[in-house]
Structures are given as structure tokens and as C-alpha cells.
Amino acid sequence: MKLLALIASAITASFASPTPAAELVHVMVLGTYHFDNPGQDLNNVKADDVLKPRRQEELEALASALASFKPTKIMVERVARTPDLIDPHFTSFTPDTLRQERDERYQIGYRIAHQQKLGRVYAIDEQPEKGEPDYFPFGAVAEYAQANGMGEKLKKMMATPAAETKAFEERQRTQSIAQLLLHSNEPTGFYSSIGVYYETLAIGDTNQQPGADLNAMWYLRNAKIFGKLMTIAQPGDRILVVYGTGHNYWLRHFAKATPGFRSVDPSPYLRKAAAKKGRR
């Protein structure tokens, strides 16, 4: 009971004494598609080659716009093997790397970190080690659906993200990278992505609930990612997080709801980049 009283007192104090503006940690989550086509998602975008000269121009415009956020730290979707969470891949980065590596961690995260002379990039991803639970147990959802006459129901659920992927690929024909990212970072974009997860809650019964398990594990992964961010953040930091678009909803939720943190909408910066360099 004493512990609960202390926790309640701390929570009350946090509301009574809001974080001074100068000490707030501003977090901008930039959701992005995977530039290098790794094929690791349920619906994989066939990305246009970002090494093309015009795409490199677009990425320079994007980096310039995002740099005006004045990030003090940049964090990317990579697993670090050390407690300091420093991404070792950034140590060997040079501008020449941008002509070789398509990965968005290089093309956006490392590019901006190098330009801003930050010296390091942080890797905050969370993936299961041997013997740990799967953070994306979609296979169990599909197996249950097929075995219990819910296969067509699941198929209809998955038709929405599949259609969104196809529409994205069509937009690539006429839009710049900043325009593409602007569309996928709009609230309607990331709310629709979480909506698909919530629909899977219906896959199950009163005993087995693989859809609920999927949602719980996806939440857990994102909570651990943001927890890692919190171990690195310092009062007054301005953190740019470059991550797969599917993480937008939860990472922004944590940035918005966690005391001492503030979520920053990337849309104005993306509009700035889109206006500066759009495709013709």
C-alpha cells in the first residue's frame, strides 16, 4: 500500500508541476517506407530507386527541411547490441555512402546526422532474441482464421493495406519522396494502419484470441522502442525518429502522452521539402 501511495503521489505531482518548456523533449516521428525493398512486411512497397539523380535531389531537399527542426539526436530502426544504443554503422558513414546504400536509415537518418555534425546516431529497435516471444504473431491469426471459417473475413481485412500499398506505388510515378512521405504521415494514414490491427481483435473466440495477442505484442514492441528512446533522451532534446510508417501510431502516442515529452508533427517540414523539390 505504501508503494501505491508513493506512485499516486508522483503521478499527482507530475500533473501539478508540468515540465518547463525548456526541458520538454520534442520527438518528431517520421514514418517512412523502406527504400531498399527488404520484403519484411505483410505488404511490401516496390520502391523506386532512390539512387536516381532526381531522387537524390529530393532527398537533399527533404534533409534540408527536416534539419530546420534542429534535431539534437537522431534515432533509427536498427537493433543496437550495446547499452549506449549507439548505431555502429554510422561510424563508417561518408557522403559517398549515399551513392551506394538505398536504406532509409542512410538516406535520411545518417544524411541529416552527418550534415548536422551530430557525431552519432542511435539504434532503438526491438526484436526478439532466441527464446523470446514473437512481436508480430500474425501467423497465429492466419492459422486460426483458416481453421475456424474466418479466412474470408481476414482476407477482407487485409485488402485495405494491400490496396494502400498499390496506391502508394502508383503515386510514386508523379510524386516526390517528400510528397509520398507527407501522405503516409498524415493522421488518416497512420490511423488507418492501426485500424487494421484493431479489426483483427475479432479473430478469435472466448478462449483463443490470436487477434488480441497480435495487438498486445505489437504494442509491446513499440513500448520497448519508446522506452529505449527515453533512456537516451535528455531534457530539452529534439529527437528525430526515422522509422517504418507502421510504427507511427504508437510512437506518436507515447511522445504525446508521456509526461515531459511532446510529439512534433512532421507535416510542415515535409510540405516545405515538397514545395522546394517536387517531381515534374
CA–CA distance, 128 with 203 (Å, rounded to integer): 24
The pLDDT of 17-23, averaged and rounded, is: 86
Spell out a b/e string for 182-193, using b for 16 or more CB atoms within 10 Å of the CB, else e: bbbbbeebbeeb
CA distance 98 to 206: 52
Alpha carbon distance 33, 107 (integer Å): 12
The full set of domain ranges for the chain reads 19-276
Which of 243, 221, 41, 13 is CA-nearest to residue 138? 41
DSSP 260: T
Task: Out of 53-57, 76-80, 193-197, pick the least confident.
Answer: 193-197
Name the helix (H) or strand (E) containing 263.
Answer: strand 261-264
Q: Span 179-203, mean pLDDT?
A: 85
Q: Provide the pairing of β-strand 261-264 with 25-32.
A: parallel
Which candidate, 114, 110, 113, places its Cα nearest to that of 89? 110
Q: State pLDDT tens for residues 203-256.
A: 999 999 999 999 999 999 999 999 999 999 999 999 999 999 999 999 999 999
Give the pLDDT confidence of 38-58 residue by residue, as tens digits. Answer: 655 555 678 899 999 999 999
Q: Specify the higher pLDDT residue, 14 or 186.
A: 186
| pLDDT, position 164 | 87
Q: If residue 255 lies in a helix (H) or strand (E), which one and from where to where?
A: helix 248-257
* Angle CA 81–225–42, to nearest 5: 100
pLDDT, one tens digit per residue, over 261-280 is: 999 999 999 999 999 854 44
**Exposure b/e, 239-266, CB count within 10 A at least 16 = b:** bbbbbebbbbbbbbbbbeebeebebbeb
pLDDT at 46: 87
| Mean pLDDT of the chain, nearest integer | 91
How high is the pLDDT of residue 278?
44
Round to whole Å and give the CA distance between 255 and 261: 5
